[in-house]
Homo-oligomer: A and B are copies of this chain.
Amino acid sequence: MKPLSHPAVDDLTVEGILHALSDPVRAAIFADIAQSACAQNCSNFLQVKERDIPKSTLSQHFRTLREAGLIRGERQGVEMQNTSRCAEIDRRFPGLIPAIMKAHQVQSGAKRGAGGQGRKRA
Count of residues in A whose CB is under 8 Å from the partner chain: 27
Residues of B within 8 A of A23 (CB): 15
Instruction: Report how far A19 CA is from B18 CA in the complex, Å.
Output: 7
Residues of B within 8 A of A100 (CB): 14, 18, 96, 99
Residues of B within 8 A of A16 (CB): 22
CB distance from A61 to the nearest CB of B (A): 14
CB distance from A113 to the nearest CB of B (A): 13
Q: Which residue of B lies closest to A107 (CB)?
A: B14
A interface residues, Cβ below 8 angstroms from B: 10, 13-19, 21-24, 27, 92-96, 98-100, 102-104, 106-107, 110
